[in-house]
C-alpha cells in the first residue's frame, strides 16, 4: 500500500473539478517541456549510476527552489510502485507509460494540487508539466515558464544557440514544448463533421489525438489538439497559433450544437437521455461504454437539461471510471467483471439527481 497514492485518491482532481474558461467545451489545458542536463548522456544511453546521479540533481533543484511546494509535494519512485499504482498515475495524467516502464533512476514529483509535475529520466532528463482546467494556455505557459526558470537557475540545461534546447528525440529540439487542449466535441461528431475538421487541423501542422494521447482513437468525443513542431517558432508563436485554432474549434462546436438543436432536436435529446439512463440504471458498464455515455450526459449538462448535476462531477468521472481508480477505491485487484460492476455502481451513485 502506497500512502501517497492513497492521498492522491482522496483528493479532487483540480484540472477537472475546478472552473475554467470555456469549460463547456474545453476540459483542460496542458504544456510539457522537455529539458536535459549538459554534460550528461540522454536517459536512453546513460547507465544506472548516471541516471541516479541525474535524478538526485533534479530532485535537489526542485527541493531548493520550492517550485513544486516541496517537501509538501508528492514524490514517487516508480521502481517501488506496483503495477496498479503505476496505472493509477497514468490515468491521473501525471506520468507517461514510457516513464513508468523505465523505473531505473526515475522519480515523479507532483505539486500538492496536481497542477505541476516533473518526470525525471523519462525520454529526457526532465519532462516538466503544468495543467489547468478549461481553455487557458496562456496561464499554463506563465506557470510553467516560471517553474522552468526556477529549475533552470539551479541546473545547467543542454542548450544550443542555433537549435535551442537539445532533446533525446529530434522532433522536440528547439522549444522542447508540447502544448495541448482537451476538447469535448460531441456536436461535431454527431453532425458528421469531425473527420473533415481533423483533416483541416492536421494541415495546419497540429496533431489530433484521443483522450489517452498518441495512437489512441476517439472515445467519448474527447480530443487533444497539440502542436507538432518545436523548431523554428518561439513559444509565444506556437501558443498564438494553437490558441487561434482552438478558439475557432470552440466556435464550430457551439455552432454544431445549436444547429443540432434547431434541425434534429429530439435526436440530440434522445442521445442525452439514453446516455443518462444507461449510466443511472446499469449494473455493468465497460470503460468505453461509460465514457461514451458520460459524453452524452456532459452535453446535457452544457445544455441546461440537468439542474442539479454540475459539469465537474461528470469531468471527474472521466478519470474515476478508470480501471486503476476503481481498484484503488475498492482496495483490491478486481476482475474485468468486477470492474464493470463497480464502474456502474460509481456512476449510479454520482449521477443521482
* pLDDT of 211 higher than 90: no
Residues spanned by CATH 3.30.590.10 within the chain? Answer: 3-258
- As a 3-state breakdown, the chain gives helix, strand, coil percent values, each rounded to 5, of 50, 15, 35
Mean pLDDT over the full length of the chain: 93
**Counts of helices then strands in the chain (DSSP H, E):** 14, 10
Mean per-residue pLDDT, 29-47: 96
- Owner of C-alpha cell 471510471: 321
One CATH from 3.30.590.10, 3.40.50.720, 3.20.10.10, 3.30.9.10 for 3-258: 3.30.590.10
- At residue 121's C-alpha, the angle toward residues 31 and 5, to 5°, is 75
Mean per-residue pLDDT, 42-66: 95
Determine which helix (DSSP H) or strand (DSSP E) holds 127, and give its type and residue range: strand 126-133
- Cα 47 from Cα 32, distance rounded (Å): 25
Contact (Cβ atoms closer than 8 angstroms) between residue 226 and residue 178: yes
DSSP string, 268-329: HHHHHHHHHHHHHH-S---HHHHHHHHHHHHHHHHTT--TT--HHHHHHHHHHTSHHHHHHH
Task: Identify the band that residue 212 occupies on the pLDDT scale cut at 50, 70 and 90.
Answer: low
pLDDT tens digits, 286-344: 999 999 999 999 999 998 999 889 999 999 999 999 999 999 999 999 999 999 999 99
Contact (Cβ atoms closer than 8 angstroms) between residue 88 and residue 319: no
- Cα 19 from Cα 296, distance rounded (Å): 20
Contact (Cβ atoms closer than 8 angstroms) between residue 317 and residue 350: yes
Rg (CA), the chain: 21
pLDDT tens digits, 295-307: 999 999 998 999 8
Three cell numbers, residue 227? 502542436
pTM, entire model: 0.93
Give Cβ neighbours of residue 50 (< 8 Å, ≥ 6 apart). 40, 41, 105
Task: Identify the band that residue 216 occupies on the pLDDT scale cut at 50, 70 and 90.
Answer: low
Share of the chain above pLDDT 70, in %: 98
- At residue 125's C-alpha, the angle toward residues 121 and 130, to 5°, is 90
Amino acid at each position: 500500500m502506497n500512502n501517497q497514492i492513497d492521498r492522491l485518491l482522496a483528493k479532487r482532481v483540480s484540472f477537472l473539478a475546478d472552473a475554467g474558461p470555456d469549460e463547456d467545451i474545453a476540459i483542460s489545458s496542458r504544456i510539457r517541456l522537455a529539458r536535459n542536463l549538459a554534460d550528461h548522456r540522454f536517459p536512453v544511453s546513460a547507465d544506472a549510476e548516471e541516471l541516479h546521479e541525474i535524478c538526485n540533481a533534479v530532485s535537489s533543484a526542485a527541493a531548493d527552489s520550492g517550485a513544486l511546494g516541496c517537501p509538501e509535494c508528492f514524490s514517487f519512485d516508480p521502481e517501488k510502485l506496483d503495477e496498479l499504482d503505476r496505472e493509477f498515475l497514468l490515468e491521473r495524467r501525471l506520468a507517461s507509460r514510457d516513464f513508468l516502464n523505465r523505473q531505473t533512476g526515475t522519480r515523479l514529483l507532483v505539486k500538492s494540487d496536481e497542477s505541476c509535475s516533473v518526470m525525471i529520466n523519462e525520454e529526457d532528463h526532465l519532462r516538466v508539466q503544468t495543467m489547468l482546467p478549461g481553455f487557458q494556455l496562456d496561464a499554463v505557459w506563465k506557470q510553467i515558464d516560471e517553474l522552468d526558470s526556477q529549475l533552470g537557475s539551479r541546473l545547467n540545461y543542454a542548450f544550443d544557440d542555433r537549435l535551442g534546447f537539445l532533446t533525446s528525440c529530434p522532433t522536440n529540439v528547439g522549444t522542447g514544448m508540447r502544448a495541448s487542449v482537451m476538447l469535448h466535441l460531441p456536436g461535431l461528431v454527431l453532425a458528421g463533421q469531425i473527420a473533415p475538421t481533423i483533416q483541416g487541423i492536421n494541415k495546419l501542422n497540429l496533431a489530433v489525438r484521443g483522450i489517452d494521447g498518441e495512437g489512441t482513437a476517439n472515445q467519448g468525443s474527447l480530443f487533444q489538439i497539440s502542436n507538432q513542431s518545436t523548431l523554428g517558432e518561439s513559444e509565444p508563436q506556437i501558443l498564438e497559433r494553437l490558441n487561434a485554432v482552438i478558439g475557432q474549434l470552440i466556435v464550430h462546436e457551439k455552432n454544431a450544437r445549436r444547429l443540432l438543436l434547431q434541425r434534429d432536436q429530439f435526436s440530440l435529446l434522445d442521445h442525452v437521455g439514453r446516455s443518462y439512463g444507461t449510466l443511472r440504471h446499469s449494473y455493468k458498464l465497460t470503460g468505453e461504454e461509460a465514457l461514451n455515455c458520460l459524453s452524452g450526459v456532459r452535453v446535457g449538462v452544457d445544455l441546461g437539461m440537468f439542474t442539479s448535476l454540475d459539469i465537474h462531477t461528470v469531468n471527474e468521472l472521466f478519470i474515476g471510471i478508470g480501471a486503476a481508480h476503481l481498484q484503488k477505491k475498492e482496495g483490491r485487484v478486481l476482475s474485468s467483471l468486477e470492474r464493470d460492476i463497480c464502474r456502474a455502481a460509481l456512476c449510479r451513485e454520482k449521477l443521482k439527481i
